[in-house]
Structure 1
Amino acid sequence: MWWVVNSGFANATRGVFSIYFIKVSFYWIWEIAAVCFNLYFLMPRLLERNKVVPYILSVVLLVPLTALLITPGYYITAWVQGRAMRELWGNDATFWSLLLANPLPSVTAALTLGMTIHLARVWFKTRQHQQELEREKLETELKFLRNQFNPHFLFNTINSIFFLIHKNPTMASDSLAKFSELLRYQLYECNDREILLTRELAYLENFVELEKLRQNSNVSVDLDIHRLSGLKHSIAPFVLITFVENAFKHVSRTTGSPNWIKIGLDLAGDKLDFFVSNSTAADNRSEVIHYGGIGLANVRRRLDLLYPGAYDLFIHSSDSRFDVRLQLQLQNLIA
């Protein structure tokens, strides 16, 4: 206390305050105030309401005004230190030279950084919201798919089973059991985001067997699915069936050349390898291309939502055949 009285205020504070403490405080206080004013007042009231010109003018005024409020910190620091401005800040340390050299670019950088961080957060939240909307839309589409059957498939399958009752009662009974399993699965057993792979494959096999009843005898169907009983792998419902449905829809039905569908699936660790191929003819070439365009885009969108970065889809089309191959990492399914 006695030292403060005898040495004077300037000498006492010289030992307490760093040479840059007051100046830095001015920077922090006014730049934080400017950034907050921009983020929580100007942007919500002007920029987010599409008032771009008033917002730009406000920011143009805010930058020099904040710089003007910071510059006195240099003078107060010199006064507290008891030293001349030129001694601390150089021979050309005038008010305007200091403002233009330091506070003005510093305030500009602070506002730019604050806006960048804020806009990045807004973009991230918007992207998350869009992804949530996409998932909700996808779930709605899946629910619609579960509750809707192809009327032609239903009618033709029932009709085929009806004729089998008199021709081959045993085969008719087996087909009716498969048809019942298929209906039960589609109505009751696939309401979760993921189901056991074995259940999805059983549904696929039943679908193929029933489709065989509807096909002409000149269409051969080769189904090669390795038995995966006991495995606990899961998969999103109806991911695989789309490719199989389209193979039956677009397979060639010519009389002078073989008509065929080949379906195969293998599982190595957690990686599923699924392929579907079918013969094509010139008369349904445009339909196949349509499937490879708009239809493929819809399939890819589903896979992007359910398995982002965890799948590879290969499509190859020629004059005589159409090939699809899907490789999937099952453990990466989004919950």
Structure 2
Amino acid sequence: MRKAISKLYHIPFWFAYHYLWWVVAMGNPWKAAHSILFSPYAVKFAFYVVLQAVAVYFNLYYLIPEYLEKGRLKSYIGYLGITLLATALAIVSGYYVSAWLAHQSVETLFGRGANCFFYFFGEAMPSTLASTTLAMSIKLTKNWIRTEQRQQLLEKEKLQTELQFLKYQFNPHFLFNSINSIFFLIHKNPDAASSSLAKFSELLRHHLYECNDELVPLDREIAYLHNFIALEKLRQNAGVTVITEIPDELPPGASIAPFILMTFVENAFKHVSKENDQNNRIEIRLQLETTMLEFEISNSSSPLPTRQAVHYGGIGLKNVQRRLDLMYPGRHDLAIRHHDSLFQVNLRIELTAPHALIAAQLSFQ
């Protein structure tokens, strides 16, 4: 209902659009206005305005989302053709209604001989096609402008995110603790130290070289998470139990925006409880069905840190929410729940392949 009310400002546009056509046809704006307001032609004019507007919005808000955007091109063309034909025939009936209300025959009122039905249809069909084409052009232009604006915001957000992660996540505290942990392992367990150093190297490489695109392969991002979790478990020692349920095999074509998942993982390790008399734990679960990714992460937490993580955003909860809105508009669902002893995040994202991102952003709203 609200959407329909928000489009009321379109009514003057359609009146003006059809009035201009009448001015072109009659060659006189005053004569065109008089014909619309004070003659039987007003009924014909109303049929054109109302029925073509209905056809336009039926195409924009039903046929395009249900068929064209879902790749069902043949069905879309077929239903669009039926819509145009039905609209043109309905507009033709307006000629006969005008004549009936004026108590005249259509031949007399419109100055046409026999078989004038085909003449009326010859006027209504091209006009309906022109209105539909114009509306689609306007919609495409608006979506292109909106996409460009979103792309600029996305680039800005991406840069800010990269700077935030470099500043907060790979801060001296994280770096020194990880290096110190590996240093102590060198004497206790050289093999574990070598493995940890390799993970640390992969972590830095991903940050510096592999996350500069809008989308990165999902398997690479998951490998990055595994390396980060392994290093955090090394730093946390035995005080925190970490449970991960992530599939070993992922679709090779699946991609995701970098650091979307990482924000929540880092936040969990940062705010996990460290009480001696409490079961301190982090649980990370990920599932992927076709293109729908479901990510759930929870951590035990003390009341104050939990509230701080929500209200102050950890290192970037607000930032990642904004990036989700920009990268996956209408294609994600994020729920953050916090209790005195539990902080939980549930995220669902409809993933896209890299080549499909632009097409998705150009889709009709």
Question: What TM-score results when the alignment is normalised by the length of structure 2?
Answer: 0.57
SS in 2 for 1:228: coil
Q: Distance in 1 between matches of 2:318 and 2:305?
A: 20
Aligned partners of 2:221 and 2:327: how far apart in 1? 16
Q: Does 1:138 align with 2:138?
A: no
* 1:260 alignment partner in structure 2: 281
Task: Tell me the residue number matched to 1:156.
Answer: 177
Tell me which residue corresponds to 1:247: 268
Instruction: Confirm or deny: 8 A CA contact 2:282 2:298 kept in the other structure.
Output: yes
Q: How does 1:1-335 map to 2 (within 5 A)?
A: 24-27=26-29, 127-128=146-147, 130-144=149-163, 148=167, 149-229=170-250, 231-291=252-312, 295-331=316-352, 334-335=357-358
Cα contact 1:307–1:334 (8 A) shared by 2: no
Paired residue type of 1:141? Q
Q: Are the equivalent residues in 2 in contact too, given 1:147–1:187 (CA < 8 A)?
A: no
Distance 2:23 2:263 in 1: 68
1:129 CA displacement: 5.2
Please give the alpha-carbon distance, in whole angstroms, between the structure 2 residues aligned to 1:317 and 1:265. 20
Aligned residues: 233
Cα 1:150–1:27 shift into 2, 3 Å: same
Greater Rg, structure 1 or structure 2?
1
How far is the alpha carbon of 1:146 from its aligned partner? Answer: 6.7
Aligned twin of 2:18: none
Query: Structure 1 residues 130 and 331, CA, compared in 2 at 3 Å: closer, same or farther?
Result: closer
5+ unaligned residues in a row in structure 1: which ranges?
Answer: 1-19, 32-118
Distance in 2 (alpha carbons) for counterparts of 1:247 and 1:126: 38
Deviations 1:212-263 (A, max 9, x none): 1111422111111111256221111111000000000110111111100001
Identical residues among aligned pairs (%): 50
* CA 206–120 in structure 1, closer or farther in 2 if over 3 Å, else same: closer
CA separation in 2, counterparts of 1:293 and 1:180? 25
Mean alpha-carbon deviation: is it higher for 235-244 or for 20-29?
20-29
* 1:273–1:325 contact (8 Å) kept in structure 2: yes
Q: How far did residue 154 of structure 1 move?
A: 0.8
Distance 1:21 1:147, change over 3 A: closer
Alpha-carbon shift at residue 133 of structure 1 (Å)? 2.9
Structure 1, 223-232 or 307-316: larger mean CA deviation = 223-232
For 1:249 and 1:210, locate their aligned partners in 2 and report how far apart those are by CA, in whole Å: 13
Q: Is the 8 A contact 2:263 2:317 kept in 1?
A: no
Q: CA RMSD in A?
A: 3.5
Deviates more, 1:228-237 or 1:307-316: 228-237
* Paired amino acid for 2:155: E
Q: CA deviation at 1:29?
A: 11
Give, as a single letter, the amino acid of the residue that structure 2 aligns with 1:334: L
| Counterpart in the other structure of 2:118 | none
- Deviation of residue 127 (structure 1)? 4.4
Counterparts of 2:315 and 2:199, CA distance in 1? 31
Describe the shift of the 1:29–1:265 C-alpha distance in structure 2 as closer, same or farther (beyond 3 A).
farther
Kindly state the Cα deviation for residue 152 of structure 1 after the two structures are TM-superposed.
Answer: 1.2
| Partner Cα separation in structure 1 for residue 25 and residue 208 of structure 2 | 72
Distance 1:125 1:186, change over 3 A: closer
Q: Could you tell me which runs of 5 or more consecutive residues in structure 2 were left unpaired when the two chains were aligned.
A: 1-21, 34-137, 359-365
Which gives a bigger RCO, structure 1 or 2 (Cα 8 Å, sep 6+)? Answer: 2
Shift in Å at residue 324 of structure 1? 0.2
SS at match of 1:218: coil
Relative to structure 1, the CA distance from residue 28 to residue 322 in structure 2 (aligned partners, 3 Å threshold; closer, same or farther) is farther
Per-residue Cα deviation, 1:119-141 (whole angstroms, up to 9, x for no partner): 99998787455423312212322
How far residue 297 of structure 1 moved from its aligned partner, in angstroms, is 3.0
Q: Contact 2:303–2:339 at 8 Å: present in 1 too? A: no
- Inter-CA distance 172–187: structure 2 relative to 1 (3 Å threshold): same
Q: What secondary structure is seen at the aligned counterpart in 1 of 2:352?
A: helix
Distance 2:172 2:307 in 1: 24
